[in-house]
Amino acid sequence: MAHLTIKDISTSTNQKLTDKAKAAGVSKNKYLQKLLDTHVIAEEVEGIRTDYEELVKSCLQVIQHNTKVINEFIRMNEEG
């Protein structure tokens, strides 16, 4: 694993990170690892979310069309 040193962090920011880590029940180092890991994959996750939304929209359109066709089929058979 690589090591990372961050210099010149304000005392306030450092304290807030310490507090957040404590609230999460992990060390500050583990908290920052998770924070950085999450940040690094955020763009990829957003792309997947966008793809998923488009897929859901497409599926909804197909379902709506199929519902219309089935309702028309039922109507025709009831008249028939």
Least confident of 2-6, 16-20, 43-47, 56-60: 43-47
| CA of residue 31 relative to chain centroid, distance | 19
Query: Tokens representing 73?
Result: 């089929």
| Residue 73, CA distances (Å) to 36, 62, 66 in order | 55, 16, 10
User: What is the phi/psi pair of residue 28, to 5°?
Assistant: -60, -40
Burial label for 32, CB within 10 Å (0-12, 13-18, 19+), is middle
Location of structure tokens 């992990």 = 26
Tens digits of residue pLDDT in 63-76: 999 999 999 999 99
Tens digits of residue pLDDT in 39-52: 999 888 888 989 99
pLDDT for position 45: 85
